[in-house]
Structure 1
């Protein structure tokens, strides 16, 4: 019973970190979380310990558990790895993706496109896009049928600010991101792994430009 409660607390707290309900550097108190979720402190304590081990929280002596802050260095390192691994995953997925999986990706893309057109009128739309975007990328990666690659990518991006919100994206940025999703699907449908791989790389480079501070000044 406690294990089930622990899993539920883990999932709720993780989702609240993802959608920005819990902010970077915010302390999570066992008593407060237990009261919020109407559970005892024991499953909360276990769930927070798991989230620390997974990198979502950090344990601060005598203070408790704090939401991990995301630095420019963290973002740069994540993108360096994603730019190598994720296009490869998409290339592999392109050659063996099932029809139901492809249809699911199309549905996710359509839902994100609809929410994108609401960003200036619906404050919750960005959180919805972030959740759907995470599912879109996760599904594509799993379709590679390479579990080691999927595990590596999950470890790389699990605390990434990209999955927390789309606050850095204006409407034009979001529409470009949505077009990339569609083009990846078009490339898969056309049977071109190279096309799909290159669009994913462009997709990640565009995101990198928004999330990683640019330190090099062009010469000339």
Structure 2
């Protein structure tokens, strides 16, 4: 049986804004096993981004339990959380977050530097994952010289290079055209088929439907949590039928 890599139990998050309190999460409970492909869906303000921040160890809960790869995060120091993130989670963002002054190869090597890996090995591992995402011919290019789809492929390679248990993607196709977005989703499917857990946070119903399981969040509560047969995003189906 697959191990649980994410466990959220009765998780709450309250933000204080002046004299007011905003309840972003109201006691959510779910778990994700190694090798799942999960979408977390909801409109703006639903709590899905806060949920993502909990999974990514970027924020702490007000109450409840958050466990990542069997480790409870609430009592960890910032240094310990940074180490857990670097070892366990790869991040992919809508706006890529590539460093403009670095080449493609240097951007992908960066997480390995934080792990203390020597440069020759960093180069080898970075080239290996860039080949997997078909960016091996752009090693010396800078982000400004790449298309949106190429930037996202580099961002995915950077997320993969530490061989994380989980890849957490925040609206990963939001800045892409429909054809390129479909290519990125197919790349996530390939990565998932090799055993990496994928969690995509999105407001897009087509993207949510592309996962094997969809957790819907609304007003800080889980509305539904369902296994599903993944389908192509609606825009891909429209193109196919054109």
Q: Whose helix proportion is higher, 1 or 2?
A: 1
Q: Whose strand proportion is higher, 1 or 2?
A: 2
Flag whether TM exceeds 0.5 (same fold).
Answer: no
TM-score tier by shorter-chain length is under 0.3
Return the TM-score normalized by structure 1.
Answer: 0.28
| Bigger radius of gyration | 1
